[in-house]
Amino acid sequence: MINEDRLVELFKNLCLIDAPSLSEHDCIEWTKVYLAELGLELQQDDAGDKIGGNAGNLIAKHPANKPGLKSIFLSAHFDTVEPTAGLVIEEVDGVFRSSSDTILGADDKGGMAPAIEAVQALMETGEDHGDIWLLLTVAEEIGLKGAHELAVKDLGCDFGYVLDTGPPVGTFVTRTATHDRVDVVITGKPAHAGKKPEEGISAIQVAADAISGMRLGRIGPETTANLGVIKGGTGTNVVCPEVSIRGEARSTSIADLDTQVDHMITQFNDAATKWGAQVEIDHERHYVAYDIDPADPCVAIAQKAAKTLGLTGDLRTTLGGSDANAFNTNGVTSIVVATGMDKIHTHDELISRADLVLTAELTLEIIREVART
């Protein structure tokens, strides 16, 4: 049985430890003590060293108590978007929010706490199970960096579940998009804006020219593009010499994504040529889409577990990414399990007590269904 009070206390403790991307060490050290006291086998990889963080992924194993059963993993990530330092948690009518000027951090402690509680509850029942791994990652919010470095295939898992998306609980993400990052630096030429502006080349004007003809926002039913950050300029009396722009594009179709990114790059290059400026473009594929067949055991087991609890088991497509993208790319089938986290990455982020419990119950039922299968 899921222990509600224990689950809620675990969730709060995890949220209250500040853990922005690349600085998850303190939260990981606390969790290591908690999992060690449960008797789990622990290891920590060197992902932190590879990605410039202060800690690597935490990997815990609850060994099988019956041979021949499938080995699975449950995964969630430590890091949160900022700010979380100084978090004060309040519960009103069974819903947890931040009452301080911070986010709550339910993304992804609202997945991590139920995953751990499900394993703990299983240990207390003594039921049959295969190897169960907890893959608790770092630096998910900045490009799935920890998961990309985690040697998931070496663990011998048959498949796994990533607890990291919003409600309704009892639904699963089996199809996602590919995500590309596009960073641009436009270099113009400074000049005094009052004395000789004609001698300058405004990087702002070049950027404006490029963007004015650029397809952005909703490009198609499952393709989007956005320019989210623009910085530049030194003063109103100086023709702007440099502008940096950070953008992205996503699509469930790699062909459509490539077309969109090529269009964005062409717009910047053409504008730079027109105005006599220089442009540097850094394009990187952050993660690749996956599309898991509904007949795959990973999906079928999850759906059966959900329906056992009276939940829908509906399958979803999302343009968002998660560590499941990295795990699928690295050769181990995984899907995303919906949790109760809502309004994530905002100061209005919330999660209900009931959804925390339901997510843990669903996770435990998935483990049981794996053993039955």
Active site residues per annotation? 79, 140
Question: Which of these, 46, 77, 183, 76, lies nearest to 139 by C-alpha position?
Answer: 77
Question: Which of these, 102, 40, 73, 87, lies nearest to 336 by C-alpha position?
Answer: 73
Q: Which two tokens stand for residue 10?
A: 């675990």
Question: Which of these, 287, 344, 293, 292, lies nearest to 319 by C-alpha position?
Answer: 287
CB atoms under 10 Å from CB of 188, counted, come to 25
Per the CB < 8 A criterion, the answer to whether 148 and 325 are in contact is: no
Helix 4-16 vs helix 25-38: crossing angle, to nearest 10: 150
CB atoms under 10 Å from CB of 112, counted, come to 28
CB atoms under 10 Å from CB of 192, counted, come to 12
CB atoms under 10 Å from CB of 357, counted, come to 19
Walk across the sheet containing 159-165 and list its strands.
Answer: 41-44, 58-62, 132-137, 72-77, 159-165, 334-338, 172-176, 315-318
Per the CB < 8 A criterion, the answer to whether 339 and 311 are in contact is: no
Question: Which of these, 83, 70, 75, lies nearest to 59 by C-alpha position?
Answer: 75
Q: What is the largest CA-CA distance in the chain?
A: 82
Sorted by sequence, the CB contacts under 8 Å of residue 282 that are 6+ apart come out as 181, 182, 183, 184
Site of tokens 């990973």: 298
What is the Cα–Cα distance from 91 to 82, expressed in whole angstroms?
A: 21
C-alpha 105: how far from chain center: 12
Please give the torsion angle defined by the CA atoms of residues 32, 35, 36 and 40, in that order, rounded to the nearest 10 degrees: -120
